[in-house]
């Protein structure tokens, strides 16, 4: 890994991409500490450990606690992307737009951006009243219409800017920009949690946590990289004087084809009602906010069920057995022992269903693990299964992209 980083630094174009990515992430982290205008706070907001807003603040990289210009973080964009993905399954027009190639994808991205701005506006208004009623973030002057409008516009524009910074990394940097910004937000909170662990807990806790963390990392990498290879044989075709086909290859079906997306989907869907409940003062809402937090068993059980459902849903979005079977038939490919066409699609669907189930259970078990550590070992900080999967998944994806860039630039070809 270190040699790959050294080789990447030696190449001028890759070095520029790495520096550009680091610069954008640094700007994002800086925006998480610049307070919004009109807010009067002696220090950061104090959220209850493991509570709803503590969980949201984890993805905002401390921006919500500081009531910063990037307080909303990347969550509005993630929520908008989730809703657009769901709408493509029920709207024929959006489904057709997705199949139009780059043009349709560009249009979908535009819709997602507009939707992100709308969600950011709604969330900004909700957090505005939360900051005023529960934390007194506007001092003795209180919340005035002009000050409220200023804070709402700042948070909304900040969320849109975070989305834009993530897209800049994707276009001109290394890795997926949105994922890297979530990665940076989560990792930025890790040193503080580790410091509390080392200063407040005995030595045996350090050793146990180190062993558990190493085992989880190995397990996550093993499952993430695991795949079922479906052999494919292409028949020979004679076109003029040339012979095409005849080679053997395979279709790689990953055990965890959906990646960390189902975990993010489930977390976003569950956080919305709990957040709205905690912002209001109704009796049932207060009970919901107190008893259904990220560290409660009800929340974890609902999240595990949603993760399993979303894993199957997103896997179906990513891989369509019917389209794959049609493409194989079109180019003269077939799976040995399986007839082309509908039998091939049924076979692929059966295999995909079987390997998706352990992948879904894997994601659900990783989400359950931190809650068990908090309940039975008294770990003094919240670092959820969502965070673990995102950190490891993004790190693997970024390193694979760097490796592919290095292979492409070091490939000599037939002529030197």
Q: Which helix (H) or strand (E) holds 346?
A: helix 342-377
Tell me how far the alpha carbon of residue 38 is from its chain's centroid.
32
Span 202-379 CATH architecture: Orthogonal Bundle (1.10)
Q: How many CA atoms lie within 13 A of 348 on its CB side?
A: 30
Least confident stretch, 236-245, 308-317, 389-398, 402-411: 236-245
In the chain, the percentage of residues whose pLDDT exceeds 70 is 80
pLDDT digits 0-9 by tens, 240-280: 666 665 677 888 888 888 877 787 777 777 766 666 665 66
Closest CA to 189 of 393, 396, 391: 391
Dist. CA 111–CA 315, nearest whole Å: 23
How many CB atoms neighbour CB 26 within 10 A?
A: 11
Confidence label for 44 from pLDDT (cuts 50, 70 and 90): low
Q: List phi, psi (to 5°) of 40.
A: -115, 105
Instruction: Look at 152 and 92; give whichever has higher pLDDT.
Output: 152
Please give the pLDDT value at position 219: 84
Longest dimension (CA), the chain: 87
pLDDT at 162 over 90: yes
> 2 pLDDT exceeds 70?
no
Domain spans, the chain: 1-193, 202-379
What local confidence, expressed as pLDDT, does residue 20 receive? 92
CATH code assigned to 1-193 = 1.10.3370.10
Distances (CA, A) of 382 to 79, 133, 388, 390: 22, 26, 11, 15
Question: Looking up tokens 């019917």, which residue turns up?
Answer: 322
Q: Is the pLDDT of residue 103 over 60?
A: yes
Q: What is the chain's mean pLDDT, rounded?
A: 79
Dist CA 229 CA 159 (whole Å): 41
Quick one: which of 303, 308, 305 has its CA closest to 360?
Answer: 308
pLDDT digits over 306-358, tens only?
Answer: 888 888 888 887 788 888 888 888 877 888 888 888 888 899 889 988 898 88
Query: How high is the pLDDT of residue 410?
Result: 62
Confidence of residue 82 (pLDDT cuts 50, 70, 90): confident
- Is the pLDDT at 30 greater than 60, yes or no? yes
pLDDT of residue 113: 92
| Cβ(138)–Cβ(39) below 8 Å | yes
* pLDDT tens per residue, range 285-295: 667 666 666 66
Strands of the 227-234 sheet, one edge to the other: 248-254, 227-234, 333-334
pLDDT given for residue 323 in this prediction: 83
Q: How many whole angstroms separate alpha carbon 410 and alpha carbon 401?
A: 14
- Tell me which of 299 and 20 has the higher pLDDT: 20
Mind listing the pLDDT tens digit for each residue in 207-250?
877 888 788 888 888 888 888 888 888 776 666 666 665 677 88
Strand partners of residue 228: 253
pTM for the structure as a whole: 0.78
């Amino acid at each position: 890994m270190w040699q790959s980083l050294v080789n990447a630094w030696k190449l001028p174009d890759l070095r520029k991409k790495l520096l550009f990515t680091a610069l954008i992430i640094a700007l994002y982290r800086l925006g998480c500490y610049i307070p919004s205008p009109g807010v009067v706070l002696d220090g950061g907001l104090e959220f209850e450990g493991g509570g709803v807003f503590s969980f949201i603040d984890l993805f905002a990289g401390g921006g919500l606690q500081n009531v910063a210009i990037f307080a909303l973080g990347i969550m509005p964009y993630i929520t908008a992307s989730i809703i657009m993905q769901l709408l493509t399954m029920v709207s024929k027009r959006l489904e057709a737009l997705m199949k139009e190639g780059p043009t349709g994808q560009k249009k979908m991205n535009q819709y997602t951006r507009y939707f992100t701005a709308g969600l950011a506006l709604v969330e900004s208004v909700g957090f505005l009243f939360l900051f005023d009623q529960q934390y007194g973030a506007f001092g003795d002057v209180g919340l005035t219409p002009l000050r409220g409008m200023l804070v709402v516009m700042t948070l909304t524009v900040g969320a849109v800017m975070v989305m834009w910074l993530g897209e800049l990394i994707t276009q001109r940097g290394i890795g997926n920009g949105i994922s890297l910004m979530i990665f940076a937000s989560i990792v930025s909170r890790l040193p503080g949690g580790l410091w509390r662990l080392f200063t407040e807990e005995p030595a045996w806790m350090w050793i146990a946590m180190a062993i558990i963390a190493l085992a989880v990392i190995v397990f996550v990498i093993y499952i993430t990289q695991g795949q079922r290879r479906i052999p494919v044989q292409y028949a020979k075709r004679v076109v003029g004087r040339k012979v095409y086909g005849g080679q053997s290859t395979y279709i790689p079906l990953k055990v965890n084809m959906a990646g960390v997306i189902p975990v993010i989907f489930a977390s976003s869907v569950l956080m919305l009602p709990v957040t709205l409940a905690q912002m209001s003062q109704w009796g049932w809402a207060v009970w919901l906010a107190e008893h259904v937090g990220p560290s409660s068993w009800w929340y974890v059980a609902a999240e595990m069920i949603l993760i399993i459902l979303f894993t199957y849903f997103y896997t179906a979005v990513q891989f369509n057995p019917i389209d794959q079977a049609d493409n194989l038939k079109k180019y003269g490919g077939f799976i040995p022992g399986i007839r082309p066409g509908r039998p091939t699609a049924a076979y692929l669907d059966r295999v995909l269903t079987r390997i998706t189930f352990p992948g879904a259970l894997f994601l659900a078990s990783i989400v359950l693990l931190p809650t068990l550590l908090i309940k039975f070992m008294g770990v003094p900080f919240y670092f959820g299964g969502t965070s673990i999967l995102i950190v490891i998944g993004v790190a693997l994806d970024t390193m694979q992209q760097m490796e592919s860039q290095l292979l492409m630039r070091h490939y000599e070809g037939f002529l030197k």
